[in-house]
Structures are given as C-alpha cells and as structure tokens.
Amino acid sequence: MSEVISLEIDAPDDWHVHLRDDEMLEAVAPYTANAFRHALIMPNLVPPITSTALAAAYRNRILTAAGPDARTDFTPMMALYLNDDLDTADLLAGAADGIVFGAKFYPAGATTNSAAGGTSLLDYRATLEAMAGAGIPLLVHAESTDPDIDIFDREAVFIDQQMFPVIEQIPELRVTVEHISTRAGLEIVQDHPQVGGSITPHHLTCDRSDLLANGMRPDLYCKPVINSRDERIAIAAAATSGDPSFFYGTDSAPHPLGKKEAAKVAAGIFNAPYAIEVVAELFHEMGALDELEAFVSHHGVDHYGLERATTKVRLTRHVVDELEPAESMRTAGGTEVRIFGADAARRWTWEPVP
C-alpha cells in the first residue's frame, strides 16, 4: 500500500485567471483568494478593462468578493486590455501608482470576450516600447485567428508571425506566452530569456483524445484548444523540468453550464477549486514532486521580479480515494458551473501552514 505523502511548499501564485464579474465573480473569487497569493486577473470583461480607473474599480470588487476566508496576502494583479482604447500615458501612470501590473493582448475573436482585441501586436509598437522602458510586462494570448489555419496549429502560426517580430524588435520587453499548448510555445520561451510561459492544469493533464475520443467533452473545450498527446507530454516535461522560464497559470475561466453544454460551446475551463490538487497529482505521477514548489511558487514571481512568499501550504496525498469533492458549483442566483479536477481532488488536500 502506498504511503501517505505530505510536503510543504511556499504559498503558490496563479499567473492567469478569469474571475468574471457580478454574480459569477462573487461565486468564484473565494476559490482563488483562498488558495493563491498573487492572482493575475484577466481584463476581458464586457466592456474590457482598458484604463487605470476601471482596473482599480474591478480590483475593489474582487477584494470584496474574495470573502472572509481569503489569504491575508491575497493580491489581485491587474492587467489592462491592449487595444485602441488603451491610453499609453494612463497605463504608465497606473503602473507607477501600483494599480496596473501589465497589459494583455488578445487577437480579435480568438476567445471569450476578445472581440475588442487587436489584429497585430506591432500595431501597438509605441505602447510596447513604453512598456519595455517602464518594466511593464506584456501578456499574450498567442493564437492566430486566420480561419485557413488548422485550429491545432494556430499557436505556432501566431508565434511565428506576430511574437517573433515583437521579441526581436523590442528585446527589452518582458513577455509572457500565456497558457502554452504546443512545443512552439515552449521553444520561444526557451530561446529568449526575456520571455516566460504560463502553463495550465488542463494543458498539463489532458490531450485532444480526452476532448474528442469518447464523445465530445464540452467541459474540456478551451482556447487555445487542448492539443495532441505528444504536445501534452512535452508541456508536462517542461513544467516538471525545473526550467525557471515556466510557471503556473490556471486560466480558470467559469461559464454557466448552459453555455458549456450548448450547440456553440463557450471556451473556458473552471479549475480554481482544485487547481493545486491537479498539478500536485501530475507532478507526483511524473516523480517530480521536488520541482512542484518551484513551478507553482517561485518561477512566476522570479519572472516578474517580485518577492517570494514567506508563508507555506501543506499538501497531503491520501492512500485511498476517500474524498468526495464537488464536481460543480452554483452561484447565488442558481447558475451551475462545472469544475475541472475532481479526480485529483479525491487524492489530495492542502491547508495553510500556521
């Protein structure tokens, strides 16, 4: 019989999360606020977060929604939506005031609430150069929207056509390739020291056979899409390798069940409740639990030039699947949202270390 495994790690961070707004924000924010120290908040609301004032107001709503059990050091890191409505001077002032952390580029039409996005990164060259000078990171949803490009190749095409020119022409700019789904994403990070990459629990643990082989799984549909087994294995190898360029970002993205189980499925996976358990089980299966702390707690803050945590959490893997985690949650208004990661949560628990 396997022994119970217990380990302590520095408090983890989530470098990519969608908290939505209003009733959904109130329902999902506590999961992130209870588990993570830093949470990099995505700005793709409707309307998008394009100014310091909007970011400050959204941050206040998040802190209110975080609830009484939130970590005392829970810190929403606010990003502005990089589009034609963003004012560079306001971005710089917001960053100087400690309100704005970074700017996020969405290709128009690539994913949920991306209609306000841009068509080319280099259209914003002046802003990107100002960001480089001020040390403000660029966060990128790296996915082509060209309908002639196969959906499984769109990350690689975007990286080749749009990210390489920016990285080569503005080498001082700190860049994050978010939610890496292919080896193309891994390679651009590995080849450029100013580029980091966030990796999600679902891209670490699922491939397109999970999505499609035994009936379409709408709960596993996200953007960029979960790719092939070979790509998943490469991503998991990078995450567990100890390479400091890769770090944890859940890309937790809740949608009402009615939008997930629909004729046109909404892109997004809600994984915040079991995000730590899923990645812990993956690292355990790969014999890499000694690298877990670096991936979830150190590499991200190091990439962004922040201080590491001084508090810890304890993770415990149980001998038998004795836990019965919920597989969905409901908002105050009764909207049901499916949760990713219940299988891992049957084996793992975690708690703050006093």
Residues 6+ apart with CB under 8 A from 215: none
pLDDT value at position 44? 97
pTM higher than 0.95, yes or no?
A: yes
User: What CATH number is associated with residue 132?
Assistant: 3.20.20.140
Exactly one of 84, 148, 251, 302 is catalytic; name it.
Answer: 251
284 pLDDT band, cuts 50/70/90, is very high
Helices (H), 67-178: 88-96, 125-134, 154-158, 164-169
Neighbouring CB atoms inside 10 A of 55's CB total 24
Please report, rounded to a whole number, the percentage of residues in the chain having pLDDT higher than 90.
94
Residue 331: pLDDT band by 50, 70, 90 thresholds? very high
Distance CA 316, CA 318 (A): 6
* Segment 32-78, tens digit of pLDDT: 999 999 999 999 999 999 999 999 999 999 999 999 999 999 999 99
The answer, yes or no, to whether residue 319 has pLDDT greater than 80, is: no
Q: What is the pLDDT of residue 1?
A: 44
Domain count along the chain: 1
Could you give the angle at the alpha carbon of 129 between the alpha carbons of 123 and 131, nearest 5°? 105
Q: Residue 3 has what pLDDT?
A: 76
Known catalytic residue: 251? yes
Segment 270-281 mean pLDDT: 98
What tens digit of pLDDT does each residue of 97-119 get? 999 999 999 999 999 988 889 99
Mean pLDDT, residues 202-218: 95
Question: How, if at all, do strands 38-41 and 5-10 pair?
Answer: unpaired
Q: How far apart are the C-alpha atoms of 173 and 193, rounded to whole Å?
A: 11
pLDDT tier, 321 (very low <50, low <70, confident <90, very high otherwise): low
C-alpha closest to that of 202 among 184, 179, 182: 179
| Domain span holding position 338 | 5-352
| pLDDT, the chain, mean | 96
What pLDDT is stored for residue 12 in this prediction?
98
Q: What is the mean pLDDT of residues 155-177?
A: 97
Reported as a pLDDT band with limits 50, 70 and 90, residue 257 is: very high
